[in-house]
Amino acid sequence: MDSAIGTYICQTIDCSKPATLQCPTCIKMALAPAYFCDQECFKRYWPIHKTFHKKQEEQEDQKNKFKFTGPLRPGKISARLFVPDHIKKPEWYLSGQPTEEMKSKLQQVVDCKTPEDIQKMRDCAAIGRGALDAGHAAVKPGVTTDEIDKIVHKYIIDHDAYPSPLNYNGFKKSLCTSVNEVICHGIPDDRPLENGDIVNLDVSVYYKGFHIDLNETYFVGEVSESSKFLVEKAYTCLQKAIEICKPGTMYRDVGNIIEKYISENGLAVNRTYCGHGVGQLFHCAPTIPHYGKNKAPGFMKPGHTFTIEPMINQGTHQDILWTFDNWTAVTADGQRSAQFEHSILITEGGCEVLTARLPTSPPLDFKI
């Protein structure tokens, strides 16, 4: 792998060394190669790794039998990228499990950040914005989402931060790339982006003990008028939701604002995936549904930090999961979906968009 991008991590579970040695069986089977740091590690892990080959064959069989809802098909997924030792890592870096996050009291209680916490989140958000802008600049026909993943990964680690999704519940990549009918959690792969696609890049960063989360949807080349309409409305509904964010606003009102605007425009709001608290934890309270008449409890208070990230569909609000990877959520009718996300801080006088676009951010493809 190009040293300008970085190296892969050794696939041996208890090893976190950089790796360049490829598994020859993976290559022979035309799989995305697994990497190891040296022959000893490879030999030690072989009894476990060889089961991966069978699992990949089974997964390919599942793909062939799977009833896809739209035209998109997955490509090959490359190995996990390496993160240097000096970078502070979350609990799931090696284990893949956010155990302490799930046990935290912050799953039920919304904390108010201190001024010191807020400054750390601003620092984290600056890295997240820069990483997303770097990924955006690479979007064009012929570029693979795996290449964009490498660009975003490099930007984040070059700023001494960690890409939060990496190995979170086993997720293999450093950002989510959701193309066309993918609602969220698309896995970067070797499929080249095509003229007319839309693609969402979802970046999350861990830095100084805090996480930040943001995403945007972009046009790939020339897209249809219906896709332009979808993406612009997805952007606008997020802005309308942010406008009501201030102390005393009920969290349930976010969904009421979004649903009203989207339904008036003949589109649908996905009801499965919600906004969430963000800070010391990647995901925590509050939960923020994006649809109307929801029962989300609580009021916004100064110091609360959370995401708003409505997923807007051209057709039905319903989704299904690609069961062969257990991550990729797509529209149930195969029509397209678009999303924008910001991390928000509630202030005494209103709110601060921590992940706001900058004058240097590549422009979006529609007027704002």
Q: Is the pLDDT of residue 2 over 60?
A: no
Q: Is the pLDDT of residue 5 over 70?
A: no
213 annotated as a binding-site residue: yes
Percent of the chain at pLDDT exceeding 90: 86
Question: Residue 337 burial by CB count (10 A; 0-12/13-18/19+): exposed, middle or buried?
Answer: buried
Q: Confirm whether pTM is higher than 0.85.
A: yes
Residues 6 or more apart whose Cβ sits within 8 Å of residue 362: 133, 136, 137
Residues 6 or more apart whose Cβ sits within 8 Å of residue 312: 230, 233, 234, 237, 262, 267, 268, 269, 270, 337, 338, 339
User: How many CA atoms lie within 13 Å of 9's alpha carbon, on the beta-carbon side?
Assistant: 20
Q: Is the pLDDT of residue 4 over 60?
A: no
Q: Is the pLDDT of residue 323 over 90?
A: yes
Q: Are 256 and 249 in contact (CB under 8 A)?
A: no
User: If you average pLDDT over residues 165-178, what whole number do you get?
Assistant: 97
Is residue 6 very low, low, confident or very high in pLDDT (cuts 50, 70, 90)? low
Give the E-state strand segments of the chain in sequence order: 8-9, 18-19, 21-22, 35-36, 162-163, 176-179, 182-184, 198-207, 210-219, 268-269, 275-277, 284-288, 305-308, 311-313, 319-321, 329-331, 337-339, 342-347, 350-353
Residues 6 or more apart whose Cβ sits within 8 Å of residue 252: 289, 294, 295, 296, 297
Question: Could you give the 3-state DSSP secondary structure of residue 287?
Answer: strand
Partners of 162 in beta bridges: 206
Span of 50-64, 168-182, 201-215 with lowest mean pLDDT = 50-64
Q: Give the integer Cα–Cα distance in Å for 157 and 93.
A: 14
Question: Could you give the 3-state DSSP secondary structure of residue 252?
Answer: helix
- How, if at all, do strands 311-313 and 337-339 pair? antiparallel
Structure-block tokens of residue 182:
């993918």
pLDDT 10s digits, 259-310: 999 999 999 999 999 999 999 999 999 999 999 999 999 999 999 999 999 9
Structure-block tokens of residue 79:
């190995």
Q: Are 354 and 345 in contact (CB under 8 A)?
A: yes
283 annotated as a binding-site residue: yes
pLDDT 10s digits, 62-81: 999 999 999 999 999 998 99
202 annotated as a binding-site residue: yes
pLDDT 10s digits, 335-349: 999 999 999 999 999
